[in-house]
Amino acid sequence: MSQESTLQKIKNMRISCPHCGHHLHLSLDTSGGDQDYYEECPSCCNDIHLNMHIDEYHQKIQLAIDSDDEQVF
């Protein structure tokens, strides 16, 4: 007897762009652990810095969004 895994590894999140406030949908692959990456806003074309942390103990996903504005010289 085989059991297919029905665990949702892809989480759909809705975020808003820190630059322009545009809402966008993200598909987060939680199977690979923590992720730190950039997504380009389709509205204003600025980079959005995303930091996903998976809290396995509490079975929660923490998503930090920032614009990285301070690092622009």
Q: Are strands 35-40 and 23-29 parallel, antiparallel or unpaired?
A: unpaired
Which pair of tokens denotes residue 19? 């630059």
Question: Cβ of residue 65: shortest distance to Zn ion, in angstroms?
Answer: 11
Work out how close the CB of 40 gets to Zn ion at its nearest, in angstroms, rounded to a whole number. Answer: 9
Pairwise CA distance, residues 40 & 2, whole Å? 41
Identify which of residues 20 and 29 has a Cβ nearer to Zn ion in the complex.
20
SS3 category, 73: coil
Min. distance of Cβ 30 from Zn ion in angstroms? 24
Residues in touch with Zn ion (CB under 5 A): 17, 19-20, 22, 41, 43-44
